[in-house]
Structure 1
Amino acid sequence: MIRNVVFGLLGAILLAVGYGYFFASPPMMLNLIDKMMAPDAPVEQIAEGLDFGTAPRQQLDIWAPAKRGKEKLPVVIFYYGGAWIKGSRQEYAFAGRAFAANGFIAVVPDYRLVPGVVFPIFVQDSALAVKWVRDNIAAYGGDPDRITLSGHSAGAYNAAILALDGHYLKEIGVDPRTVRAAALFAAPLDFYPFDGPRSRAAFGAWPKPAETQPVTFARADAPPLFIAQGTADDVVKPRNAPRLARRLKAVGAPFVLKLYPGKSHNDLVMGLSVPFRGNATTLADSVAFLKANSR
C-alpha cells in the first residue's frame, strides 16, 4: 500500500515538473515525495545555507516545529550518508522535518567529501558544525545544553567518532560532554582492514588505521549511544553494531543496541520519511532515546 502511494506520487511529480527529475538521486526523490505528504506535525525550515566555516560545503539548514513556545527545545544534528563521496543537506531535508515534527530543533549540515578531502577532514567538518550549534542554536529556539547527534551510514560514522573520540571537539574548544547522546543508523564502526574502494579512498592514507575506527575509542564516560542495525544490511555488515556494543559493555558505557530483522541498509534512514515510516521504527526509537538522554 505504501509503495503504491509512493509510486503514484512519483508519477505525479514527474508529470508536474518534467522528466528531468528522473535523473535525480534516490534521496532527492524520496525527499520530494516526503515533502508532498503530511508530516506528523507542522514544521518549518527556519534557516538555510548558514555558514559554520569558510569552505563551500561548510553550511547547514535548520528545521523546527511550526508551533513552539518560549521554552528551548532539544537539538539533533543529523549527518547524512553517502560513503563520504556524495550527499547534500537538501537531499536529506526529510530527516530534518521528521525530527522537527517530533519536538526537536533539527540541524542538517553538509561536510566536505572524498576525493576532495580524506579522513579526518569530514570528521573535523562535522565537529565544526557541533561548535556552531553550541554557539548559535539558542537564537533559533534550541537548547545548547541538549545537543544530540544522529546520522546514517557514513554520516552515522561521523556522529560515532565525534561521540567517542573527544579530541575532535576538544581541539576546537568544545567540551566533548556537549554531545549528550547519539543515534546511529547503519554505522560503520569496526571495518578495518579496508576491503572496499570507498573505505580505502577515505581512510587508506591514514598511517594509524585504528584511529579511524569508532570501536577503538569505546570509553566508560561516552555519551549514551543508540546503535541501530538492519540484519539484512549488505553495505555496512551487520557485525559492526554488535562489535561496538560488546566493547561498550566491557567498559561499562551506556548504550542500546537495536537490531531490525530483515531490514536493509537504506531501510533504516527511509524509516525517517513519511512514506516509509512504517517500514522501520527508527524515528520513534531514536526520538525516544535522544529525548530521554538529553535532559
Structure 2
Amino acid sequence: MDSTASLRQSSSSAAAEEVMEMETKPLLTKFLTYPPPVAAQRRRAKLGSSSPATPRPSRQNSFGRDIGHAAKETYLITSLSFTLLRYLGVGYRWITRLLALAWYAMLLMPGFLQVAYCYYFSSQVRRSIVYGDQPRNRLDLYLPTNTDGKKPVVVFVTGGAWIIGYKAWGSLLGLQLAERNIIVACVDYRNFPQGTISDMVEDASQGISYICNNIADYGGDPDRIYLMGQSAGAHISSCALLEQAIKESKKEEIISWSVSQIKAYFGLSGGYNLFNLVDHFDSRGLYRSIFLSIMEGEESFHQFSPEVRVQDPNNIDAVSILPPITLFHGTADYSIPSDASKIFVDVLQRLGAKADLVLYDGKTHTDLFLQDPLRGGKDEMFDQIVAVIHADDKEALEQDAVAPPRRRLVPEILLKLARNISPF
C-alpha cells in the first residue's frame, strides 16, 4: 500500500493547503464564529465557587457577516470538490451518479433554500465553532428558542460517502430537533482526499470531546448527551465510540471524554463491516481502489469495522460499557443494505450489549433523513428519537404530545420524483 500512502499524502496536502489558505485570509477570518468557550464555569461550579456565571455566548447579527460566511463555506465546498474530481478522473458510473445527484438536488431545492436561509440567518444557529486545530475542525450548534433550564444534546455526524460530508447537511435535523427543545451539534470532519478514515474518526472524537466538556456554556446538559450518525457518519461515529470504549477499558491513555457521558447512540442507515461493503460500493460507483484509499488499505478493515472489532475477545470489556444502541434502516436502502444494521445488532445482542434495530419497510437511503423530514407532518423515526431523549422528562413528553406537525417544505410530486432519481 506504499502507492496508496503516497497518494493519500499528496492529495491530503494539496487539499489541506487550499483550505488553510482560505482559513487564513484576513477578509474571511472575521466570519468565523466564536472561539471555543472554556468550561471553567462548570468546573468552578463543581468546586463550589461563588464566581458569577459566564453569560451564554450571543450572536451578533450582521447581514454582511452572514454573506461573507456563506461565501467562505461555498469556497470550501468548491475547492474540495475540484480536488476530489481531479483525483477521481472520468468514470461512467461516477459521472452518472453525479448527474443524478444534481437533478436530485434541484428537485428538492425549494426545501433546501428554506433550510439554508435559516442556517445562515437564524439567531438559533451558531456556525463554525472551532473544536480542534485542523481546517475542518468546526461544528454548528442549533439552540432552542426556549432558554429555560439545561437542554439535552445530540452530537450528530453527517454522512457523505466519506467524500462529501459536511456539517451543514445536518441543518434540517438540527432545526427540527431544536423545535423540541433539544440542542444539536453537527460535527464537521476531514473528508477524502483531505484525510482518510483515521483522520475522520479522530476529528469526530475531538468534536464529541468538545461538546462533552463545553456544552454547559451553551445551555446544554452535560449529563444528557446523545451521539448520532447517518450513513458514513454512522460508521465514523460508531468507530469513534468503540475506540473510546476500548481506550477506557484498557486504561492505556488519558481521555478527554468518557463513553459514560453518552446516554445512547443512534445509527441511521450506516455500515459497520467494511469487509461486507467494499464490493457492494464498487458496484455502485465508489470504486474499490478509491474505497481502499479512504480506508487506508484492506489491512485496516478490522480496525474500522465495529461489527468485527466488538467480536475480538480482547475487547469484551469495551463492549460491556457501551451505551444503549439503536440502529435505524430502510429495507429499500440500496446504498447500504439494511442487513448491515441487522447483523451488527445481532452481534451486539449476542455479546450482551443493549442494542435494538428499527426497520422501515420500503424506505430508501435518503427517505429517512431527507424526503420524510421535508415532507413534514408526523415522522415515525423522528418521534422515536425524541421519545428516547425525553424519556426521563415528563414535562417534555407532555409538550411533545401536543406539538404541531412539522411544516411541509417540498411539494409531494417533487419528493416522489426526487426519490426515483436519487443516486443513493
Is this a same-fold pair by TM over 0.5?
yes
Partner of 1:284: 383
Q: 1:77 to 1:44 in 2, by over 3 A?
A: farther
Compute the RMSD of aligned alpha carbons. 2.9
Partner of 2:337: 237
Matches within 5 A, 1:7-22: none
Deviates more, 1:200-209 or 1:104-113: 200-209
Q: 1:52 to 1:100 in 2, by over 3 A?
A: same
- Extract structure 1 runs of 4+ deviating beyond 6 A: 22-25
Task: Give how far 1:67 is off.
Answer: 1.6
> Could you tell me which of 241, 253, 263 is aligned with 1:180?
263
Matched pairs, number: 267
Q: Does the 8 Å CA contact 1:74/1:147 hold for their aligned counterparts?
A: yes
Q: Does the 8 Å CA contact 1:31/1:93 hold for their aligned counterparts?
A: no
Distance 1:181 1:271 in 2: 25
Task: Give how far 1:164 is off.
Answer: 2.7
SS in structure 1 opposite 2:299?
coil
Distance 1:65 1:272 in 2: 22
Partner of 1:100: 178
> Could you tell me which of 136, 141, 145 is aligned with 1:57?
136
SS in structure 2 opposite 1:166?
helix
1:31 maps to 2:112: yes
Task: Give how far 1:204 is off.
Answer: 4.3
Distance 2:126 2:141 in 1: 5
Partner of 1:80: 158
Q: Does the 8 Å CA contact 1:84/1:113 hold for their aligned counterparts?
A: yes
Structure 2 unaligned runs (5+)? 1-100, 311-318, 395-424
Task: Give how far 1:114 is off.
Answer: 0.6
Deviates more, 1:189-198 or 1:151-160: 189-198
Distance 1:272 1:24 in 2: 18
Deviates more, 1:27-36 or 1:95-104: 27-36
Partner of 1:210: 302
1:145 maps to 2:223: yes
1:66 maps to 2:136: no
Deviates more, 1:248-257 or 1:189-198: 189-198
Larger Rg: 2
Taking only the aligned residue pairs, the percentage that are identical comes to: 27
SS in structure 2 opposite 1:97?
helix
Distance 2:214 2:372 in 1: 26
Distance 1:46 1:116 in 2: 26
Which structure: greater helix fraction? 2
Q: 1:74 to 1:203 in 2, by over 3 A?
A: same
Distance 2:393 2:320 in 1: 18
SS in structure 2 opposite 1:86?
coil
Q: 1:272 to 1:128 in 2, by over 3 A?
A: farther
Which structure: greater strand fraction? 1
Structure 1 unaligned runs (5+)? 1-21, 38-42
Matches within 5 A, 1:128-207: 128-166=206-244, 171=253, 172-193=255-276, 194-195=278-279, 196=282, 197=287, 199-205=291-297, 207=299
Task: Give how far 1:245 is off.
Answer: 0.9
After TM superposition, the score normalised by the length of structure 2 is: 0.57
